[in-house]
Amino acid sequence: MLDLVLDAPYYIDKEWFEADTGNRLMTRWDGTKVPVESVARSWWSNSSNRSAAFSSAGTVTIPAAYTRANSNGSYTAYHTGAGNHGTLVHHKHMEDNMVSL
């Protein structure tokens, strides 16, 4: 599962992220490239942190509480925030709780 706020900027503006992969991208446990969380936030909130093609788009401030850990969890951990709408259920949890029919 990818996150619209924290992961989509890379897929929207690959040119800018790939200009400095060592500082702007990370690799998830499954090999998927995604933005470093702080860089994704900056992409949304600061138009100078984008390629020329997206520099004139509006800005959005992402709440500090919206983090991968808090909102999505990971392959090995559930999210740390409240609620369960849209929660990732990782493979290990599914395997542990499968029932044979």
Domain tally for the chain? 1
Separation of alpha carbons 67 and 79, rounded Å: 9
Inside any domain, residue 53 = yes
The residue segments making up the domain with residue 68 are 8-96
Position 2 in a domain: no
Please indicate, yes or no, if residue 101 is contained in any of the structural domains: no
Here the contacts of 16-21 (C-beta below 8 Å, separation 24 or greater) are 16/43, 16/49, 16/50, 16/51, 16/54, 19/51
Query: What does each of the 101 residues of the chain score in pLDDT, given as a tens digit?
Result: 788 889 999 999 999 999 999 999 999 888 999 999 999 999 999 999 999 999 999 999 988 887 876 556 554 545 445 555 554 444 444 444 444 43
Q: Is residue 76 part of a domain?
A: yes
Question: Which run of H or E residues covers position 35?
Answer: strand 33-35
Residue 49 lies in a domain: yes
Query: Does the pTM of the predicted model rise above 0.75?
Result: no
Residue (of 53, 52, 88, 85) closest to 69 by Cα position: 88
